[in-house]
């Protein structure tokens, strides 16, 4: 039986798949940070949604990483979980 790690390694060995995966890294990183912030605040998606004045399904979509949210939406989410947004631009690593 293959593990998820084995499957991921095999799929990412393909350069085209790797390029697509890498292109989505920022979106998935943001989703991971949203989920971590909510978890630290000990809140459910429904509770965050209530604090944001929206629905649980909207919060679920934000946390899915499929589409990047607006900065304003991320700010509302951060406020709902008792945090703030910090935006910075970093240079690319030298190749």
Domain-embedded: residue 52: yes
Is 86 domain-assigned? no
Q: What is the pLDDT of residue 60?
A: 97
Residue 2 lies in a domain: no
Is 1 a domain residue? no
26 is a domain residue:
yes
pLDDT for the residue 68 = 87
Supply the range of the domain harboring residue 37: 14-80
What predicted TM-score, i.e. pTM, was given to this entire model?
Answer: 0.79
Whether residue 23 is predicted with pLDDT greater than 90 in this model: the reply is no
Residue 28 CA to residue 32 CA, distance in Å, equals: 6
Helix, strand, coil distribution of the chain in percent, nearest 5: 65, 0, 35
Give dist(CA 20, CA 49) in Å, integer: 31
Question: Does residue 7 fall inside a structural domain?
Answer: no
């Amino acid at each position: 039986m293959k593990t998820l790690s084995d499957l991921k390694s095999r799929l990412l060995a393909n350069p085209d798949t790797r390029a697509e995966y890498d292109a989505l890294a920022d979106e998935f990183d943001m989703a991971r940070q949203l989920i971590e912030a909510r978890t630290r605040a000990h809140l459910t998606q429904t509770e965050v949604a209530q604090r944001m004045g929206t629905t649980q399904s909207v919060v679920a979509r934000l946390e899915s990483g499929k589409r990047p949210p607006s900065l304003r939406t991320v700010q509302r989410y951060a406020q709902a979980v008792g945090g703030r947004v910090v935006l910075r631009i970093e240079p690319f690593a030298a190749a």
